[in-house]
Amino acid sequence: MNIVVLAGGLSTERDVSIITGKKVAKALRKNGHKICLLDVYMGYDNDDIADIFTIDYDFTKDIDSIGEKAPDIKAIKKMRTNQAKQCFLGKNVEKICRMADIVFMALHGDVGENGQLQATFDILGIKYTGSGYIGSGLAMNKSLSKKMFIADNVPTPEGQVFTAQDDITTWNSFPCVVKPCSGGSSVGVSIPNNRTEFENAMREAFSFEDEVLVEKYVKGRELSIGVVAGKALPIIEICPKEGFYDYKNKYQAGLTNDICPAVLPDDVTAQLQKTAEKVYQTLRLDAYARIDFILDKDNNFYCLEANTLPGMTPTSLLPQEALATGISYDELVEILVEESMKKYL
Ligand SMILES: Nc1ncnc2c1ncn2[C@@H]1O[C@H](COP(=O)(O)OP(=O)(O)O)[C@@H](O)[C@H]1O
Ligand SMILES: [Mg+2]
Protein backbone atom coordinates (compact mmCIF):
# COMPACT_ATOMS: atom_id res chain seq x y z
CA MET A 1 0.00 0.00 0.00
CA ASN A 2 0.95 3.66 -0.31
CA ILE A 3 0.82 5.01 3.23
CA VAL A 4 1.33 8.55 4.55
CA VAL A 5 2.65 8.50 8.10
CA LEU A 6 1.51 11.81 9.53
CA ALA A 7 3.53 13.19 12.44
CA GLY A 8 4.64 16.42 14.13
CA GLY A 9 1.93 19.06 14.30
CA LEU A 10 1.58 21.82 16.85
CA SER A 11 0.81 20.05 20.13
CA THR A 12 3.06 19.85 23.19
CA GLU A 13 3.54 16.20 22.17
CA ARG A 14 5.04 17.17 18.79
CA ASP A 15 8.45 15.62 19.55
CA VAL A 16 6.89 12.37 20.80
CA SER A 17 4.83 12.20 17.62
CA ILE A 18 7.92 12.61 15.43
CA ILE A 19 9.63 9.68 17.15
CA THR A 20 6.42 7.60 16.89
CA GLY A 21 6.21 8.49 13.18
CA LYS A 22 9.81 7.61 12.51
CA LYS A 23 9.50 4.18 14.10
CA VAL A 24 6.10 3.41 12.50
CA ALA A 25 7.41 4.44 9.05
CA LYS A 26 10.43 2.15 9.45
CA ALA A 27 8.19 -0.79 10.40
CA LEU A 28 5.78 -0.17 7.50
CA ARG A 29 8.69 0.07 5.04
CA LYS A 30 10.00 -3.27 6.36
CA ASN A 31 6.51 -4.71 5.85
CA GLY A 32 6.75 -3.76 2.16
CA HIS A 33 4.68 -0.56 1.99
CA LYS A 34 5.65 2.65 0.22
CA ILE A 35 5.84 5.43 2.77
CA CYS A 36 5.78 9.20 2.92
CA LEU A 37 6.64 10.43 6.43
CA LEU A 38 5.16 13.91 6.53
CA ASP A 39 4.92 16.70 9.12
CA VAL A 40 1.24 17.64 9.15
CA TYR A 41 2.07 21.27 9.99
CA MET A 42 5.30 21.91 8.05
CA GLY A 43 4.10 20.08 4.92
CA TYR A 44 6.10 19.44 1.77
CA ASP A 45 7.66 22.39 -0.07
CA ASN A 46 8.11 20.91 -3.53
CA ASP A 47 4.95 20.95 -5.69
CA ASP A 48 6.20 18.02 -7.75
CA ILE A 49 4.44 15.29 -5.74
CA ALA A 50 3.52 12.76 -8.43
CA ASP A 51 6.27 10.33 -7.32
CA ILE A 52 6.13 11.09 -3.60
CA PHE A 53 5.69 7.41 -2.62
CA THR A 54 8.70 6.23 -4.60
CA ILE A 55 11.19 8.72 -3.11
CA ASP A 56 10.78 7.55 0.50
CA TYR A 57 10.26 11.10 1.76
CA ASP A 58 11.19 11.42 5.43
CA PHE A 59 11.40 14.79 7.20
CA THR A 60 12.94 13.32 10.37
CA LYS A 61 16.45 12.54 9.13
CA ASP A 62 18.17 14.73 11.76
CA ILE A 63 15.81 13.94 14.65
CA ASP A 64 16.73 11.03 16.93
CA SER A 65 15.23 11.47 20.36
CA ILE A 66 12.71 13.22 22.60
CA GLY A 67 13.99 16.05 24.87
CA GLU A 68 13.41 16.14 28.62
CA LYS A 69 10.78 18.89 28.22
CA ALA A 70 7.90 19.48 25.81
CA PRO A 71 8.81 21.68 22.80
CA ASP A 72 8.17 25.44 22.47
CA ILE A 73 5.18 25.55 20.12
CA LYS A 74 5.36 29.32 19.43
CA ALA A 75 8.89 28.82 18.06
CA ILE A 76 7.72 25.90 15.89
CA LYS A 77 4.89 28.04 14.46
CA LYS A 78 7.36 30.73 13.41
CA MET A 79 9.42 28.17 11.47
CA ARG A 80 6.72 27.64 8.84
CA THR A 81 6.83 30.13 5.97
CA ASN A 82 5.21 28.22 3.11
CA GLN A 83 1.51 28.22 3.99
CA ALA A 84 -1.25 30.57 5.12
CA LYS A 85 -0.85 31.07 8.88
CA GLN A 86 -4.43 30.14 9.74
CA CYS A 87 -4.30 26.75 7.99
CA PHE A 88 -3.22 23.87 10.21
CA LEU A 89 -2.39 21.60 7.27
CA GLY A 90 1.03 22.34 5.79
CA LYS A 91 1.73 22.81 2.10
CA ASN A 92 0.63 19.85 -0.06
CA VAL A 93 -0.48 17.76 2.97
CA GLU A 94 -4.09 17.41 1.80
CA LYS A 95 -3.00 16.53 -1.76
CA ILE A 96 -0.48 13.92 -0.61
CA CYS A 97 -2.94 12.36 1.88
CA ARG A 98 -5.53 12.07 -0.91
CA MET A 99 -2.97 10.03 -2.90
CA ALA A 100 -2.49 7.49 -0.04
CA ASP A 101 -4.39 4.23 0.49
CA ILE A 102 -4.49 5.17 4.17
CA VAL A 103 -2.93 7.75 6.49
CA PHE A 104 -1.24 6.37 9.60
CA MET A 105 -1.99 8.86 12.38
CA ALA A 106 1.32 9.07 14.24
CA LEU A 107 0.10 12.30 15.83
CA HIS A 108 -0.33 12.88 19.56
CA GLY A 109 -2.36 15.59 21.25
CA ASP A 110 -4.39 18.57 20.10
CA VAL A 111 -5.79 18.72 16.53
CA GLY A 112 -4.24 15.41 15.45
CA GLU A 113 -5.80 13.39 18.28
CA ASN A 114 -8.88 15.36 19.36
CA GLY A 115 -11.12 14.54 16.39
CA GLN A 116 -10.67 17.71 14.35
CA LEU A 117 -8.31 16.16 11.81
CA GLN A 118 -10.37 12.94 11.85
CA ALA A 119 -13.53 14.90 10.94
CA THR A 120 -11.66 16.80 8.23
CA PHE A 121 -10.39 13.56 6.70
CA ASP A 122 -13.92 12.05 6.82
CA ILE A 123 -15.22 14.98 4.82
CA LEU A 124 -12.34 14.80 2.34
CA GLY A 125 -12.73 11.02 1.92
CA ILE A 126 -9.23 10.29 3.27
CA LYS A 127 -8.85 6.99 5.18
CA TYR A 128 -6.92 7.09 8.46
CA THR A 129 -5.92 4.80 11.33
CA GLY A 130 -7.53 4.76 14.77
CA SER A 131 -10.69 6.24 16.20
CA GLY A 132 -13.17 8.52 14.44
CA TYR A 133 -13.95 12.09 15.42
CA ILE A 134 -16.49 11.36 18.16
CA GLY A 135 -14.35 8.85 20.06
CA SER A 136 -11.27 11.01 19.61
CA GLY A 137 -13.08 14.06 20.97
CA LEU A 138 -14.59 12.25 23.96
CA ALA A 139 -11.30 10.60 24.93
CA MET A 140 -9.22 13.75 24.51
CA ASN A 141 -11.32 15.84 26.86
CA LYS A 142 -10.83 14.44 30.37
CA SER A 143 -13.90 16.27 31.65
CA LEU A 144 -16.18 14.68 29.00
CA SER A 145 -14.55 11.25 29.45
CA LYS A 146 -15.23 11.43 33.18
CA LYS A 147 -18.90 12.24 32.59
CA MET A 148 -19.13 9.21 30.27
CA PHE A 149 -17.31 6.98 32.80
CA ILE A 150 -19.72 7.98 35.56
CA ALA A 151 -22.77 7.44 33.31
CA ASP A 152 -21.52 3.95 32.37
CA ASN A 153 -20.33 2.91 35.86
CA VAL A 154 -16.63 2.90 34.99
CA PRO A 155 -14.80 3.63 38.25
CA THR A 156 -12.84 6.91 38.06
CA PRO A 157 -11.29 9.21 40.70
CA GLU A 158 -13.59 11.87 42.13
CA GLY A 159 -12.91 15.15 40.41
CA GLN A 160 -14.04 18.65 39.58
CA VAL A 161 -13.53 20.85 36.53
CA PHE A 162 -12.46 24.48 36.94
CA THR A 163 -12.26 27.27 34.39
CA ALA A 164 -9.94 30.25 34.84
CA GLN A 165 -12.84 32.37 36.24
CA ASP A 166 -13.90 29.83 38.90
CA ASP A 167 -13.19 30.14 42.62
CA ILE A 168 -10.55 27.45 43.26
CA THR A 169 -10.71 27.81 47.05
CA THR A 170 -13.71 25.44 46.99
CA TRP A 171 -11.26 22.53 46.49
CA ASN A 172 -10.06 21.29 49.89
CA SER A 173 -8.59 17.83 49.43
CA PHE A 174 -4.78 17.42 49.31
CA PRO A 175 -2.76 15.87 47.81
CA CYS A 176 -4.69 16.12 44.55
CA VAL A 177 -3.92 15.89 40.87
CA VAL A 178 -4.20 18.92 38.61
CA LYS A 179 -4.40 18.34 34.86
CA PRO A 180 -5.32 20.42 31.82
CA CYS A 181 -8.54 18.81 30.44
CA SER A 182 -7.22 18.26 26.91
CA GLY A 183 -3.55 17.64 27.60
CA GLY A 184 -1.46 14.52 27.23
CA SER A 185 1.94 13.06 28.12
CA SER A 186 1.51 14.58 31.61
CA VAL A 187 2.29 18.07 30.25
CA GLY A 188 0.95 20.58 32.81
CA VAL A 189 0.05 17.75 35.27
CA SER A 190 1.12 18.19 38.89
CA ILE A 191 0.40 16.67 42.27
CA PRO A 192 0.18 19.48 44.87
CA ASN A 193 0.36 18.55 48.56
CA ASN A 194 -1.10 21.73 50.05
CA ARG A 195 -3.01 24.88 49.14
CA THR A 196 0.01 26.96 48.13
CA GLU A 197 1.31 24.23 45.83
CA PHE A 198 -2.25 23.82 44.51
CA GLU A 199 -2.52 27.51 43.57
CA ASN A 200 0.81 27.30 41.70
CA ALA A 201 -0.24 24.07 39.99
CA MET A 202 -3.53 25.65 38.83
CA ARG A 203 -1.68 28.70 37.46
CA GLU A 204 0.63 26.38 35.52
CA ALA A 205 -2.27 24.24 34.21
CA PHE A 206 -4.27 27.32 33.12
CA SER A 207 -1.25 28.45 31.08
CA PHE A 208 -2.01 25.45 28.82
CA GLU A 209 -5.79 25.81 28.59
CA ASP A 210 -8.93 27.27 30.14
CA GLU A 211 -10.38 24.03 31.47
CA VAL A 212 -8.56 22.18 34.25
CA LEU A 213 -9.53 18.92 35.95
CA VAL A 214 -8.69 18.45 39.62
CA GLU A 215 -8.88 14.89 40.93
CA LYS A 216 -8.48 13.19 44.26
CA TYR A 217 -5.02 11.65 44.41
CA VAL A 218 -5.23 7.85 44.37
CA LYS A 219 -2.20 6.24 45.94
CA GLY A 220 -1.50 3.01 44.18
CA ARG A 221 0.00 1.10 41.29
CA GLU A 222 -0.08 2.56 37.81
CA LEU A 223 -1.42 0.25 35.10
CA SER A 224 -2.17 0.63 31.43
CA ILE A 225 -4.09 -1.64 29.08
CA GLY A 226 -3.95 -1.63 25.31
CA VAL A 227 -7.15 -2.55 23.47
CA VAL A 228 -6.85 -3.66 19.84
CA ALA A 229 -10.01 -4.39 17.83
CA GLY A 230 -12.04 -4.29 21.04
CA LYS A 231 -9.91 -6.91 22.86
CA ALA A 232 -7.63 -6.11 25.81
CA LEU A 233 -3.91 -6.91 25.64
CA PRO A 234 -1.94 -8.01 28.74
CA ILE A 235 -1.77 -5.32 31.46
CA ILE A 236 1.46 -3.35 31.90
CA GLU A 237 2.54 -1.93 35.27
CA ILE A 238 4.62 1.25 35.21
CA CYS A 239 6.97 1.91 38.13
CA PRO A 240 8.76 5.28 37.83
CA LYS A 241 12.03 5.14 39.80
CA GLU A 242 11.31 8.69 41.10
CA GLY A 243 8.12 10.78 41.30
CA PHE A 244 5.04 10.08 39.15
CA TYR A 245 4.75 9.17 35.46
CA ASP A 246 5.55 12.66 34.16
CA TYR A 247 6.85 13.77 30.73
CA LYS A 248 10.49 13.02 31.55
CA ASN A 249 9.73 9.58 33.06
CA LYS A 250 7.58 8.75 30.02
CA TYR A 251 10.21 9.31 27.33
CA GLN A 252 13.73 9.13 28.79
CA ALA A 253 14.89 5.52 28.61
CA GLY A 254 15.61 3.78 31.92
CA LEU A 255 13.64 6.12 34.24
CA THR A 256 10.77 3.67 34.79
CA ASN A 257 10.52 -0.08 35.17
CA ASP A 258 7.72 -1.53 33.09
CA ILE A 259 6.39 -4.95 34.04
CA CYS A 260 4.28 -6.83 31.50
CA PRO A 261 2.19 -8.81 32.16
CA ALA A 262 1.63 -7.02 35.49
CA VAL A 263 1.70 -9.35 38.49
CA LEU A 264 -1.91 -9.27 39.78
CA PRO A 265 -4.49 -11.75 41.09
CA ASP A 266 -6.27 -13.42 38.15
CA ASP A 267 -9.67 -11.98 39.04
CA VAL A 268 -8.28 -8.43 39.22
CA THR A 269 -6.58 -8.89 35.83
CA ALA A 270 -9.84 -10.14 34.32
CA GLN A 271 -11.88 -7.26 35.79
CA LEU A 272 -9.39 -4.66 34.63
CA GLN A 273 -9.24 -6.04 31.09
CA LYS A 274 -13.04 -6.18 30.96
CA THR A 275 -13.23 -2.58 32.13
CA ALA A 276 -10.67 -1.47 29.51
CA GLU A 277 -12.82 -3.10 26.81
CA LYS A 278 -15.88 -1.36 28.27
CA VAL A 279 -14.13 2.03 28.19
CA TYR A 280 -13.34 1.39 24.50
CA GLN A 281 -17.07 0.87 23.90
CA THR A 282 -18.22 3.72 26.16
CA LEU A 283 -16.06 6.28 24.39
CA ARG A 284 -16.89 4.89 20.88
CA LEU A 285 -13.26 4.04 20.07
CA ASP A 286 -12.08 2.26 16.94
CA ALA A 287 -9.19 0.00 15.93
CA TYR A 288 -7.00 0.60 18.99
CA ALA A 289 -6.46 2.60 22.15
CA ARG A 290 -4.67 2.44 25.49
CA ILE A 291 -6.50 2.95 28.77
CA ASP A 292 -4.73 4.19 31.95
CA PHE A 293 -5.68 3.03 35.46
CA ILE A 294 -4.57 3.32 39.09
CA LEU A 295 -5.02 0.33 41.42
CA ASP A 296 -5.09 1.04 45.17
CA LYS A 297 -3.81 -1.27 47.91
CA ASP A 298 -7.26 -2.86 48.34
CA ASN A 299 -7.37 -3.70 44.61
CA ASN A 300 -9.95 -1.01 43.84
CA PHE A 301 -9.14 0.41 40.43
CA TYR A 302 -9.88 3.77 38.86
CA CYS A 303 -9.78 4.71 35.19
CA LEU A 304 -7.77 7.88 34.54
CA GLU A 305 -8.15 8.26 30.79
CA ALA A 306 -8.14 6.69 27.34
CA ASN A 307 -5.46 7.46 24.76
CA THR A 308 -6.75 7.14 21.20
CA LEU A 309 -3.34 7.55 19.56
CA PRO A 310 -1.01 6.00 22.16
CA GLY A 311 2.74 6.42 21.74
CA MET A 312 4.65 4.03 19.55
CA THR A 313 8.13 5.23 20.59
CA PRO A 314 10.96 2.99 21.83
CA THR A 315 9.79 3.39 25.47
CA SER A 316 6.05 3.17 24.68
CA LEU A 317 3.67 0.81 26.46
CA LEU A 318 1.39 -0.59 23.73
CA PRO A 319 4.27 -2.26 21.80
CA GLN A 320 5.50 -3.85 25.04
CA GLU A 321 2.02 -5.25 25.72
CA ALA A 322 1.79 -6.67 22.20
CA LEU A 323 5.22 -8.23 22.59
CA ALA A 324 4.02 -10.05 25.72
CA THR A 325 1.60 -11.93 23.47
CA GLY A 326 4.32 -12.64 20.87
CA ILE A 327 3.39 -9.79 18.48
CA SER A 328 6.45 -7.86 17.30
CA TYR A 329 6.48 -4.09 16.78
CA ASP A 330 6.39 -4.51 12.99
CA GLU A 331 3.48 -6.96 13.22
CA LEU A 332 1.59 -4.66 15.60
CA VAL A 333 1.84 -1.70 13.21
CA GLU A 334 0.52 -3.91 10.40
CA ILE A 335 -2.41 -5.07 12.58
CA LEU A 336 -3.28 -1.44 13.41
CA VAL A 337 -3.42 -0.62 9.69
CA GLU A 338 -5.51 -3.74 8.91
CA GLU A 339 -7.94 -3.05 11.79
CA SER A 340 -8.29 0.59 10.70
CA MET A 341 -8.97 -0.45 7.10
CA LYS A 342 -11.97 -2.49 8.37
CA LYS A 343 -13.72 0.79 9.24
CA TYR A 344 -14.08 1.44 5.51
CA LEU A 345 -15.44 -1.95 4.38
N1 LIG B 1 -6.11 10.72 40.30
C2 LIG B 1 -4.82 10.39 40.22
N3 LIG B 1 -4.18 9.84 41.29
C4 LIG B 1 -2.85 9.54 41.23
N5 LIG B 1 -2.06 9.80 40.16
C6 LIG B 1 -2.63 10.35 39.06
C7 LIG B 1 -4.04 10.68 39.03
N8 LIG B 1 -4.31 11.22 37.83
C9 LIG B 1 -3.15 11.23 37.14
N10 LIG B 1 -2.13 10.73 37.87
C11 LIG B 1 -0.71 10.63 37.43
O12 LIG B 1 -0.49 11.56 36.36
C13 LIG B 1 -0.19 10.85 35.14
C14 LIG B 1 -0.86 11.53 33.96
O15 LIG B 1 -2.26 11.53 34.13
P16 LIG B 1 -3.28 11.08 33.00
O17 LIG B 1 -4.66 11.31 33.52
O18 LIG B 1 -2.97 9.71 32.51
O19 LIG B 1 -3.02 12.19 31.85
P20 LIG B 1 -2.05 12.24 30.56
O21 LIG B 1 -1.28 10.95 30.49
O22 LIG B 1 -3.00 12.43 29.42
O23 LIG B 1 -1.19 13.45 30.77
C24 LIG B 1 -0.67 9.43 35.37
O25 LIG B 1 0.03 8.53 34.54
C26 LIG B 1 -0.40 9.25 36.86
O27 LIG B 1 1.00 9.02 37.09
MG1 LIG C 1 -2.00 9.00 30.71
The Å distance, Cα 186 to ligand 2 centre, comes to 7
Ligand 1 pocket mutation pick from 186, 208, 309 by most atoms within 8 angstroms of CB: 186
pLDDT value for 65:
86
Of the candidate CATH numbers 3.40.50.970, 3.30.1490.20, 3.40.5.90, 3.40.250.10, the domain formed by 158-216 belongs to 3.30.1490.20
Counting atoms of ligand 1 from 1, which one is nearest the CA of 188? 23
Give the number of the ligand closest to the Cα of residue 13.
Answer: 1
* pLDDT-flagged residues of the chain (< 50): none
Burial class (CB in 10 A: 0-12, 13-18, 19+), 175: middle
Residues having C-beta closer than 5 Å to ion ligand 2 = 292
The Å distance, Cα 118 to ligand 1 centre, comes to 25
The Å distance, Cα 14 to ligand 1 centre, comes to 20
Counting atoms of ligand 1 from 1, which one is nearest the CA of 159? 1
Tell whether ligand 1 has an atom less than 6 A from the beta carbon of residue 137: no
Cis ω before 261 (30° cut-off from 0): yes
| Rounded distance between C-alpha atoms, residue 37 and residue 43, angstroms | 10
DSSP code string of 150-188: HHTT-----EEEEETTS-GGG---SSEEEEETT--TTTT
Tell whether ligand 1 has an atom less than 6 A from the beta carbon of residue 192: no
Give the number of the ligand closest to the Cα of residue 223.
Answer: 1
User: In which element (H, E) is residue 81 found?
Assistant: none
Q: Which residues contact 156 (CB under 8 A, 6 or more apart)?
A: 146, 149, 150, 302, 303, 304
For the chain, the maximum distance between any two Cα atoms, rounded to a whole number of angstroms, is 61
CATH 3.30.470.20 positions along the chain are: 220-344
The Å distance, Cα 305 to ligand 2 centre, comes to 6
The Å distance, Cα 223 to ligand 2 centre, comes to 10
Torsion angle of C-alpha atoms 80, 84, 86, 87, degrees rounded to 10: -80
pLDDT value for 70:
87
pLDDT value for 188:
92
CATH 3.40.50.20 positions along the chain are: 2-128
Q: Which residues contact 185 (CB under 8 A, 6 or more apart)?
A: 12, 13, 16, 70, 108, 109, 247, 250, 251, 311
pLDDT value for 63:
84
| Rounded distance between C-alpha atoms, residue 289 and residue 170, angstroms | 35
Tell whether ligand 1 has an atom less than 6 A from the beta carbon of residue 139: no
pLDDT value for 274:
98
Tell whether ligand 1 has an atom less than 6 A from the beta carbon of residue 244: yes
Is-contact 247 187, C-beta < 8 A? yes
Strand partners, 128: 103
Tell whether ligand 1 has an atom less than 6 A from the beta carbon of residue 217: yes
pLDDT value for 81:
83
Nearest CA to ligand 1 atom 2: 217
Each as own residue / partner, the long-range contacts of residues 59-62 (CB below 8 Å, 24 or more positions apart, any chain) are 59/8, 60/7, 60/18, 60/21, 60/22
The Å distance, Cα 99 to ligand 1 centre, comes to 39
pLDDT value for 201:
97
What is the architecture, at CATH level 2, of domain 220-344? 2-Layer Sandwich (3.30)
pLDDT value for 315:
86
Tell whether ligand 1 has an atom less than 6 A from the beta carbon of residue 321: no
Give the number of the ligand closest to the Cα of residue 237.
Answer: 1
pLDDT value for 213:
98
DSSP code string of 258-323: EESS----HHHHHHHHHHHHHHHHHTT--SEEEEEEEE-TTS-EEEEEEESS---STT-HHHHHHH
Tens digit of each residue's pLDDT (9 = 90 or more) over 163-197: 999 999 999 999 999 999 998 888 999 999 999 99
Give the number of the ligand closest to the Cα of residue 186.
Answer: 1
The Å distance, Cα 90 to ligand 1 centre, comes to 32
The length of the chain, given as a count of residues: 345
CATH number of 2-128: 3.40.50.20
Q: Which residues contact 172 (CB under 8 A, 6 or more apart)?
A: none
